[in-house]
Structure 1
């Protein structure tokens, strides 16, 4: 795993795109603070840039770097949830402008996965995580279902867990600082 982490991190630091296994599905990733890399993700996925992307952080300490105020409800959800859950937070900060939604929100997940944890920790920053498909196409459930244009469109493919079938995408919950809670995807 160490050599895969190093290769992935080197690619991220150079502004490249990686294809990597997450706690949910195979993801296309890049440095969440690099607007050029994020633009490449939108181009590869053939996705309109008004549709927000999710990013991963290692833990709640790292989360504080990217969200001005973490609602108490978020801490509770992170602690009690038993399935991958992405939370949309108000008042994003320290991220590329083209990653932050027009209303100032950002979707962030703390993955329960060793590779993702160490990738974020050793990279020391948030990493984009969007499903490894072209927009409008089904999300691949395994590495072998990933479209050739996605495989060719990234700069590095992590050589781990190619045999694993992936779970479904994460749940998404929007938590507003005013206390409003909205389930976006179960």
Structure 2
């Protein structure tokens, strides 16, 4: 599959546009984030979401999160109160994934059984450039095999031959995002990862 080297600090617009055209055509990408490499597609492409499940051999009930460029459209996809919004504003952009109550705008395939959804706003120029240029959220899951993140784009290439494009930003990280469940009164740390939890 094509591997396209990209500048992590200043992503080249023509490379972002190439990647976005693939996303709009039901494609699947691998791309760097502020934590690990992700596999992703447009939130509007059920066909591409199903491809990701097959590529990673994921169970149908395993949730996928999605990336937003900021918290501007948050109310479209999640139900949040003022306290939750203030916390998210403090922690974004950054290495956190927030589990929130989903609205009807979230495609059913991305919702967990209890009608929740995972949302990320990463601190990464490539991921943010992609989602801004696309104009809607990007589904995101760790590029991993048996739970182990793949840090080398060449290894991602070998492991997931069905990907349409890899945006190669060099070696990625090994520690995924911290997952916080914000659906209840108390914050629940579902997975402790790159985002510190001591200041929550």
TM-score of the superposition, structure 1-length normalised? 0.88
Give CA-to-partner distance per residue, 1:51-98, whole Å, 9 cap, x none: 101110000003222113355234324414785011000123322211
Which SS does the other structure have where 1:153 is aligned? Answer: coil
1:98 aligns with 2:96: no
Q: Residue 190 of structure 2 corresponds to which residue in structure 1?
A: 184
Of 169, 172, 175, which residue of structure 1 is paired with 2:176?
Answer: 169
Cα distance in 1 for residues equivalent to 2:94 and 2:64:
19
Q: Does 1:119 align with 2:144?
A: no
Aligned-pair CA distance for 1:107? 0.4
Deviations 1:112-142 (CA, angstroms, capped at 9, x unpaired): 11111121111111101111124x2411133
Give SS of 2:148's match.
coil
- Distance in 2 between residues matched to 1:86 and 1:40, nearest whole Å: 22
* Partners of 2:31 and 2:38 within 8 A in 1: yes
**1:30 partner SS:** strand
Residue among 11, 15, 19 paired with 2:30: 19
In 1, are the aligned partners of 2:92 and 2:123 still within 8 Å (CA)?
A: no
How large is the Cα RMSD of the aligned pairs? Answer: 2.0
Contact 1:62 1:125 in 2 (8 A): no
- Partners in 2 of 1:36 and 1:71 — Cα distance? 35
Partners of 1:96 and 1:79 in 2: CA distance: 27
TM normalised by structure 2 equals: 0.82
Q: Which runs of 5+ in 2 are unaligned?
A: 1-11, 193-200
Q: Which residue of structure 1 lines up, in the alignment, with residue 15 of structure 2?
A: 4
**Structure with the higher fraction of residues in strand conformation:** 2
- Aligned counterpart in structure 1 of residue 166 of structure 2, from 157, 165, 170: 157
Match of 2:148 among 121, 138, 145: 138
CA 14–79 in structure 1, closer or farther in 2 if over 3 Å, else same? same
For structure 1, the residue ranges without an aligned partner over 5 or more in a row are none
